[in-house]
Structure 1
Amino acid sequence: MTPTEKQILEKLGDRIKKIRTEKGLTTRELEAFSGVDSSNITRYELGQKNPSYLTLVKLAKGLEVSIHSLIPKD
């Protein structure tokens, strides 16, 4: 993974975590709502793992937001 790719994943992870914490959810609660394993949610939030499109759809549904809101603006 290149440094640029790592930075992109970290921004995505920051966005997912920001929305999750604003909604007052733990990773385990988001797991229950989205069907995405909480350990993977943590890896996505830390920028350690690249979520697939289907995973992003599940996370968006679990967070009750559009998939577009998960994508960082910059």
Structure 2
Amino acid sequence: MTTLGRLHEKDAVTRARDGPAFRYVAVVNPSALVAWRMRRLLDTDADHASVLRRFVSSLTKQDEETLRRLLSDPDQT
């Protein structure tokens, strides 16, 4: 239960009440899982600016444009 609780805190699983207990379900959305992994990797380095700068500089032009669009309007899909 401790492991499932920690995974829930990290948004790796969802949970719903099932009587007196919880039912846990793994996140099946691949993009959500990749985003979760990216966040965990970012958290391993205290210098987030340096990591993000290097990440952004490695993006393709198309991905960079997508990121700029998302940063200006996060509700875009």
Give TM class, smaller chain: 0.3 to 0.5
TM-score, structure 1 normalization: 0.33
User: Going by fraction, where is helix more abundant, 1 or 2?
Assistant: 1
TM-score, structure 2 normalization: 0.32
User: Going by fraction, where is strand more abundant, 1 or 2?
Assistant: 2
